[in-house]
Structure 1
Amino acid sequence: MKKCVFPTLFEWNHYQEQPPRLSVWEHQERPLTPDPNLDAEQEDIDFDVERTGHDYCSVPEAAAVDMVLHENEELKREIEDVRKQLEQTKMIHRFGLNRFAGSNEDIRFYTRFATYNHLMAFWELIEPATHRMIRVTNSKVFKEPGNTRALPAIDEFFLFLMHLALGLKQMDLGHRFQVHQTTVNRIITTWANFLYFVLGSVCIWMPKEKVRAHLPEEFHQFRDTQVILDCTEIRCQTPSSLLLQSEVFLNYKSHCTFKALVGMAPHGEITFVSAL
């Protein structure tokens, strides 16, 4: 056989010659040749209209333009409504402070603050200092301020309050806020240290004049009262060390407890809590 010659007779084509393939130009009709007598500009316009069926030089009617603009505006409004609904749905399903902002009963249950306004008033006092917060990354390493957070600062504070108020386990809090259990542990440790230093620097002892100005009626005969002292106890695990057992065991309750001295102003504000 000669070079570049291929067999063409096979059993599947009944050993017959196949017609040659048509070229690309032969598969479709060639466009008509423009009339050379027409003006060059008119020639181009007619040629485009004949091929596409549309005159791109023509101006659309004003009614059609208005209809398209009106449809675009309606589509924009629909997109905006869908976006708002999506954000509201995310807000409902996401566990955070904003989810319970409208219910003072839920705020009292989860945080022990009386109302949402009370909680936000306290947050406004400590929020400026949160930007300088030193964050705990593990048991021995601390991060400087300005690092990214797994949760917004207000939700971290809400998580910490839930841990104090309800005693929820870290795994439970992680499922609620959709973060890892290790992250919950670091948030709790960070906020415990932060609030200890921030609130520990505040003078909680009220002046005598202010205490007398807010004395309840029951204390009018005891106008010199500045603080009411009482002791409280918290049950704890029995230590393995006999020395520690002797220090924390309480015969009255027959159990190991931590003791604390609590001071309260006559009108009900806690003004002193000793170390356990």
Structure 2
Amino acid sequence: MSAKFLKIVNGSKEHCCVPLCSASGRYNSTLSFHCFPKNASLQAKWSHKVRRTGFTVTQHTKVCSRHFKPHEIVISKKGRRALVAGAVPSLFEWNNYSTKERPGVWERRARPPSPEPDVIEPAAAEPVAIPMVMDHDYEASPTVCVDRQHYEQLKQEIDALREQLKTCHLSKFGLQRFASSPEDIRFYTRFPSYTHLMAFWSLIESATSKMIRVTSRARKACDISTVTESPMTRPTKLLPIDELFLFLTYLSTGCTQGELSHRFNIHRTTVGRIIVTWANFLYSLLGSICFWMSPAAVKTCLPPEFDGRYSNTQVIVDCTELRCQTPSSLLLQSEVFSTYKSHCTFKAMVGMSPHGALTFVSTLFEGSMSDKEVFRQSGITSLLTPKMAIMVDKGFLVDDLVPGTVYRPAFVTQRAQMPEEDVLQTQSIARLRVHVERMIRRVKENKLFDTTIPLSITGSINQIFTVACLLSNFQNGPLVANEV
């Protein structure tokens, strides 16, 4: 629709309010100007069509007739132009003053011709018929004729893919991958060989069916539920023996949970739940076994070095400390700070029989606690009788706590020089006490205890350390080889 502009015909100042429209009543007499309707809904339609925001509709706001369709404008007998009821402007410059709708996709683009069915040419030679099992036989024929050469190629490809799949399974990080390497088994589990590890697994395998698992919901609600270990109800995709391997790897190598999640191809939170689950399980299972030996059993295994003066020795005790992360609370820092290590630590007391077997392990205490107080709170005094003797270091001033004899290196006190008999006694005790240091070294071969214990696992570090101590009896032989 085009506009015809003429010279000034009258002095009318009417003009169109539509954007991009410059029509005015001063320069033409062919256009008429119409006010916005008073009906609110119809006026809203006009404002929406006009696309002009930020203005107020008044009685002088007009829209010219070029924006209406011809049949929407009627002329009275007196020559006045008016709009039919319900008319709405729809012709604008942005739609090229047209109401023609955009053609459809198929109107703008020719449809491609329908493909002709393929004509199968007869083969030169009839192929050999090979019966094949089909999931969906839509035809009546029970056999399918295929090319022998193509069939053999596909068969070879399937065999190659099967071998590749077997290789992928063997390369998976798990216990079976290292079964033939005693060095790797020793590195990842601290067991001397795969045979020893499987012997330990045979002892605990039956108890895994009653394992109490820690789940994310249980840890939040402080509630746990019993889960029966079976392929259908097992909550993780690792087998129980692989979960044990993961826990032993965590102890032995000190890897972070994120690194273990990449190795075993599971989520990091799943690794954390497996570690806590197996720490609690082994803590309860191995803790139910009485490792404390009777005096008769100790006497039977007593090495020749203890014959004579120290033949009544029941246990050799010593303390060890684990470095931990420094807490933010100053009160907690003062409690766990060890002046001996100049760091925040956890302290525990372990005891071993004269021939080298671990027979006692205490809970973890604050690093600021003295050896005597650790001895008092460990509960070992309830196991001792007046006929039992213990061997301790100089820091254990526990003569008033032990009902029997205490073998301890002598002090110089205020004397200028230690007497000869005290020197000989100190040397003899030191030669026998060194085995408890070797036993502690066996426990600390687990690299987890060489690192700084993060505060995030302090809730289960006591169980983890106790399990590591108890496992040392299964992972190693006796310290003293010349036992009777």
Residue 307 of structure 2 is aligned to residue 251 of structure 1: no
TM-score w.r.t. structure 1 length? 0.66
Decide which of 243, 253, 275 is 1:156's aligned counterpart: 243
CA distance in 2, matches of 1:87, 1:112: 31
TM-superposed CA distance for 1:115, in Å, is 2.0
**Structure 1 unmatched runs, 5+:** 1-52, 54-77
CA distance in 1, matches of 2:350, 2:247: 22
Cα distance change, pair 175–155 in 1 and its aligned pair in 2 (3 A)? same
How do residues 59-208 of structure 1 correspond to structure 2 at under 5 angstroms?
A: 85-86=163-164, 88-138=166-216, 139=219, 140=221, 141-146=223-228, 147-148=233-234, 149-208=236-295
Q: How many residues align?
A: 203
* Residue aligning to 2:390: none
**Structure 2 unmatched runs, 5+:** 1-125, 127-155, 365-484
Give the secondary-structure state (helix, strand or coil) at the position aligned to 1:191. helix
Residue 325 of structure 2 is aligned to residue 237 of structure 1: yes
* Residue aligning to 2:380: none
Divergent runs of 4+, >6 A? 78-84
Give the RMSD, CA atoms, in angstroms: 2.7
Q: Do the aligned partners of 1:91 and 1:99 also contact (CA within 8 Å) in 2?
A: no
Q: Do the aligned partners of 1:237 and 1:256 also contact (CA within 8 Å) in 2?
A: yes
Give the letter aligned to residue 154 of structure 1.
I
Give the secondary-structure state (helix, strand or coil) at the position aligned to 2:333. helix
More helix per residue: 1 or 2? 1
Q: Which moved more, 1:178-187 or 1:153-162?
A: 178-187
Give the secondary-structure state (helix, strand or coil) at the position aligned to 2:350. strand
CA distance in 2, matches of 1:196, 1:92: 32
CA distance in 2, matches of 1:105, 1:231: 30
TM-superposed CA distance for 1:87, in Å, is 6.3
Cα distance change, pair 178–209 in 1 and its aligned pair in 2 (3 A)? same
Q: Which structure is larger by alpha-carbon Rg, 1 or 2?
A: 2
Decide which of 359, 362, 372 is 1:271's aligned counterpart: 359
Q: Do the aligned partners of 1:91 and 1:98 also contact (CA within 8 Å) in 2?
A: no
TM-score w.r.t. structure 2 length? 0.39
Q: Percent identity?
A: 59
Cα distance change, pair 270–81 in 1 and its aligned pair in 2 (3 A)? farther
Give the secondary-structure state (helix, strand or coil) at the position aligned to 1:186. helix
* Residue aligning to 2:298: 211
CA distance in 2, matches of 1:265, 1:81: 59
- 1:38-60, Cα deviation, whole Å (9 max, x unpaired): xxxxxxxxxxxxxxx9xxxxxxx
Q: Do the aligned partners of 1:227 and 1:264 also contact (CA within 8 Å) in 2?
A: yes
Give the letter aligned to residue 108 of structure 1.
R
Q: Which protein has greater RCO, CA pairs closer than 8 Å, 6+ apart?
A: 2
